[in-house]
Amino acid sequence: MKKNAFVLLCLLGVSTSALAEKIGVSMAYFDQNFLTIIRQAIDKEAKARGLETQFEDARGDVGRQTDQVQSFIGSGVDAIIVDPVDSASTPVLAKLAQQAKIPLVFVNRSPGNKALPPGVVFVGSDERESGVLQMEALAKMANYRGNVAIMIGNLTDAGALQRTKDVEQVVAKYPNMKVVLKQTANYSRSEGVDLMINWLSNGEDIDIVAANNDEMAIGATMAIAQTKPNKTILIGGIDATPDGLKSLAKGGMQVTVFQDGIGQGKKSVEVAQRLMKGEKVDSHQWIPFELVAKQNMQQYVEKSK
């Protein structure tokens, strides 16, 4: 159909720019730092490949994201990229795209452990690695002893649940360590501040905070600086965002785990285009996690530019 339209427009002397292949992109949030990195990478890579993009902000609403995917399908996009609001919603989105015969790429947030149908691919990092890297580094810094508090992203995110499970499994290996607290802070810096202040105000005995992302970890460091500036608590995050690296440099956080948001964004566009061409693509495209501490952080500062 597009080829016929192209020929017709050429005969009529009409610009064919409107026929550029288009990808609809629904992001769980526009205002989360790490997701902004992915969104900007998608935009840049799509432009480099001559693809048009339409970005929509689901604002953390599953229903809104489903409507956005349906709207993309109705408008005839050539592929769809989704950063899911909720891992549990992904089968519905996959079914919608498959019925419409439109390639779908989930990026960053895992669609869970179920097999993906043909034409649907996940691009992201294996969450079985991130929490282990984070907690093993924190445990070593603490000489394998101490009370651990876990800040959970949210309970609807398979990645957050896996990161939390990883931390718990590492702590369980060491007899002089235990998890004493775990609570959600929704990947939010401000909620991380509030949660940490609440813990400290209640007199909780905490030696280590393992946060599911850098934003909550930064919130924890801010709360400690405000309320217990002389107390030594080891703080770990995940993502190695620019703000996370700044906190690491200043000694607020002691460790983070690099999740390549730029790599995920670029790869999701590459995979979408390959699917549009009818190429076979492995259902899971992994972007490795990497441990970041103060000693090796400069290379990640360069990567984030």
**Domain definitions of the chain by residue range:** 22-125+261-287, 127-258
Alpha helices in the chain (DSSP H): 2-12, 33-48, 62-75, 90-99, 127-141, 158-172, 189-201, 214-227, 242-250, 261-276, 297-303
Contacts of residue 173, defined as CB under 8 A and 6 or more positions apart, other chains included, come to: none
Averaged pLDDT, groups of 10, the chain, 305 residues long: 43 52 97 94 98 98 98 98 94 96 95 88 94 98 98 91 97 98 97 98 96 98 95 96 95 96 97 97 95 93 75
Q: What is the pLDDT of residue 15?
A: 42
Nearest Cα neighbor of 255 from 297, 226, 224 is: 297
Q: What is the pLDDT of residue 132?
A: 98
Residue 204 near residue 146, CB atoms below 8 Å: no
Q: What is the pLDDT of residue 156?
A: 85
- Whether 22-125+261-287 shares its CATH topology with 127-258 is answered yes
22-125+261-287: CATH, from 3.40.50.2300, 3.40.50.1980, 3.40.50.150, 3.10.20.30: 3.40.50.2300
Residue with tokens 């990161």: 163
- Positive or negative torsion for Cα 196, 183, 260, 24: negative
Domain 127-258, what fold?
Answer: Rossmann fold (3.40.50)
Tell me the CB-side half-sphere exposure of residue 192, using CA atoms within 13 A: 26
Distance CA 256, CA 296 (A): 11
Q: What burial class does residue 236 get, using C-beta atoms within 10 Å of its C-beta: 0-12 exposed, 13-18 middle, 19+ buried?
A: buried
